[in-house]
Amino acid sequence: MTYRRWRLRPGVPAEAVRDLLRARIAPHYRTLDPAVELDLEQLQDAAAVLAIARWPDRTSYDRATQGPAYQAWLEAYRPILDEWDRLVEFETEWFTRGLL
């Protein structure tokens, strides 16, 4: 899984981030790998959100995020990333591997 913590930009409600994830980001990710699951959680301080991507396994993640097909996917994703960056500011990220 990948976790990314994002700080909401001033005046941006978490619902705007959620709506972008539902309308544009999740559908685009499904073209990368239909098995990836995206989630968004608002943190307790309410000024940040946690974006979570759950991949079936590390092999699926590596296969989906390497090579020319990924570069084409990423290029098509750039306008969506621009929208995302207007809503939030990146803070940190980390990766985990499920044990159960």
pLDDT recorded at residue 73: 97
Least reliable range by pLDDT among 65-69, 75-79, 83-87: 65-69
- Dist. CA 25–CA 53, nearest whole Å: 11
C-beta of residue 7 within 8 angstroms of C-beta of residue 98 = no
Sheet holding 48-54, edge to edge: 37-42, 48-54, 2-8, 88-95
Q: Which pTM does this prediction carry?
A: 0.88
Amino acid at site 32: L
Q: Over 80: is that where the pLDDT of 15 sits? A: yes
C-beta of residue 7 within 8 angstroms of C-beta of residue 91 = yes
C-beta of residue 88 within 8 angstroms of C-beta of residue 37 = no
Q: How many Cα neighbours within 13 Å face the side chain of 74?
A: 8
